[in-house]
Chain A
């Protein structure tokens, strides 16, 4: 059953120096209970995509085209008040990047977690009982609710942020780089917690990260983004074992591994394009080792090359 349907989404930032096309024609669907990973380098538009689905694109950005349907409701057509009362936090919530900054330093933890519930009219004691329950679920002592954020460690704060995202029982949780600021041991604990959510609660999760290792811990499906577009989309097995887009292939070969022979790392020369004036044709063409003439003039579209495996590359045109 389809929970989220994004089609041809365009989120642009209208800056004084030109229009930055951060997300430029992205389409994806997500079924209930499914986990999608979005990978890409900084500036590829993965966080902007997440903000768009939350209906929280910061100015001067706005959604310039396309639609985002959550349970059939197109949030790009809804008024802000309706999004706030019906969608945000109730149906879609977000685990923010950098838990340290996502928490308000002058509120006690329990008050912050309870806020959305109280706002929607739940009685106080019920709300706080639910907070205690949630804290326990994310592996914290409920007494931590009485503390302020500065009294918690990085891992504990991240757990609090996860509890916050779950308070309204949303169908979809978007985790934007949920472990980036954390040490590896804490990262593994947080990822295990999210695995539990995935299994026991059957929540849909979108995990966004630049780290393919982190994404591989959770995602059944993976979308690879480059310069505002999805260049490859498929199951985790397809992306890792049979990457087809030259960008995905290079990205996987660029990661130093913990096991296996130490081979020379390959890297992608150059840097991502300026999204104010992306190159014509394929946006990866200037850095691509397999570039052809057509790549520089015409833009490839996502095509299904095998079941569920989509690639936007002229190498595979039929």
Chain B
């Protein structure tokens, strides 16, 4: 039995993605242990229907790997990702011989790669760089039509053309005739990102992973794309996993956010509450580090309550992985913290209604 709420679309349980490091022949003969980069190291969260769920954190924290693992674009080392596909996709999966584990739920982590294709219609991705993610030799029409052809949607050219026109209208690339025959180099950055979003939308997915979709765009265009995400969510009811390093952007588009550090979620909760009143010491440091544009900023030194730099993800610090950088542990810790933090990993639990964190201070 899989426990999944009625309005839950995706439930990730203890997901792990480790990348093995190359080990020379001599090293393995000498019996040196195999080393791993612990990119994602046991995380759990769920995404509700019509929700924008944010993964935030610094580079290397595993947020992108999490998004890719859910789409099976990187191999999963362990854990589960339970997902409720649309009925027609479930049907196709059953034709392929994939039985749902429970009541219309499939485990994305255990479906064989060669049977994953029907699910791609339901799970889509928008990449960070609209300059790199579009084929420069494909017109907008070709980019969008390719997805339809691959998945056998629309029997005739006209039918497909209609679908393309509808989706371009959804992303506000109107009049459609002006854009449909253009090549990526004839579009601005914002327009390219709209095409990338259209490509994700055209298969009518229930979940889209948006990996830093606005960080390459200029401020004036960024707002426009963020607004588009909000509109699409309301109109189409699609769920987003929105990956960003920018807490201000997260606050603007997301319902809930999960803050990641070194492959783990350290805090999860309502986006506005987490930013207004962070619980975990790492979240506190992140919030303190961001300069809100105010002229008085230059008059004060911005104190960021954190020590040193991110350790590498191969040799993860024992106990709480944040403890070497935590000011609460390193400056006058209580006897309990002194004992617990370097020894035991803190449990991830609800400390206030709807607010989860993994920190011994709240245990």
Binding site for B on A (CB under 8 A): 35, 41-42, 153, 155-156, 183-189, 191-192, 195, 210-220, 235-237, 239-241, 250-252, 254-259, 262, 264-269, 271
Contact = CB atoms under 8 A, between A and B. Distances in A.
Contacts of B292: 213, 257-259
Contacts of B22: none
B224 A185 contact: no
B287 interface: yes
Nearest to A154: B59
B274 to A, nearest CB: 11
Contact of A239 (B272, B275, B295): B295
B302 to A, nearest CB: 5
B226 A183 contact: no
A216 B58 contact: no
Contact of A265 (B252, B286, B310): B252
Contacts of B219: 41, 210-212, 251, 254-255
Interface stretch (B75-83, B89-97, B173-181, B242-250): B242-250
Interface of B: 58-59, 188-190, 218-224, 226-227, 245-249, 251-252, 272, 275-276, 285-295, 297-298, 301-302, 304, 306, 309-310
Given A212-B293, A256-B252, A262-B251, A267 B302 contact: no
A188 B298 contact: no
22 contacts: A42-B218, A155-B309, A184-B286, A185-B285, A185-B306, A187-B289, A210-B219, A213-B290, A216-B291, A216-B298, A235-B295, A239-B295, A240-B293, A240-B295, A251-B219, A255-B248, A256-B226, A258-B248, A259-B292, A265-B227, A268-B220, A271-B190
Interface centre among B190, B290, B295 (most CB of A within 10 A): B295
B226 A265 contact: yes
B220 A250 contact: yes
Given A213-B291, A251-B219, A267 B224 contact: yes
B228 to A, nearest CB: 10
Contacts of B285: 185
Most buried by B among A212, A215, A267: A267
Contacts of A155: 309
A40 B346 CA distance: 44
B221 A216 contact: no
Nearest to A183: B58
B172 to A, nearest CB: 10
Contact of A217 (B218, B223, B297): B297
A184 B283 CA distance: 12
Contact of B247 (A195, A258, A268): A258
B188 A262 contact: no
**Highest count of chain A CB atoms <10 Å: which of B246, B249, B297:** B297
B245 A237 contact: no
Given A191-B291, A250-B220, A264-B227, 8 more contacts: A188-B290, A216-B298, A239-B295, A256-B248, A258-B247, A258-B251, A262-B251, A265-B227
A213 B219 CA distance: 12
B304 A188 contact: yes
B304 A185 contact: yes
Contacts of B289: 184-185, 187-188
Contacts of A250: 220
A264 B310 CA distance: 35
B245 A183 contact: yes
Given A218-B298, A265-B227, A252 B220 contact: no
Contact of A257 (B58, B188, B248, B288): B248
A260 to B, nearest CB: 9
A250 to B, nearest CB: 7
Nearest to A218: B298
B272 A188 contact: no
Contacts of B222: 254, 267
A195 B301 contact: yes
Nearest to B306: A185
Nearest to B214: A256
Interface centre among A235, A236, A256 (most CB of B within 10 A): A256
A183 B59 contact: yes
B287 A258 contact: yes
A174 B287 CA distance: 28
A300 B295 CA distance: 27
8 closest A-B pairs by beta carbon, nearest first, are A236-B295, A267-B223, A213-B291, A268-B220, A265-B223, A183-B58, A212-B293, A267-B224
A216 B293 CA distance: 6
A275 to B, nearest CB: 14
A219 B291 CA distance: 13
A57 B285 CA distance: 39
A267 B293 CA distance: 17
Given A186-B309, A251-B219, A255-B248, A217 B295 contact: no
Contacts of A239: 295
A179 B173 CA distance: 34
B62 to A, nearest CB: 14
A213 B297 CA distance: 9
A250 B289 CA distance: 25
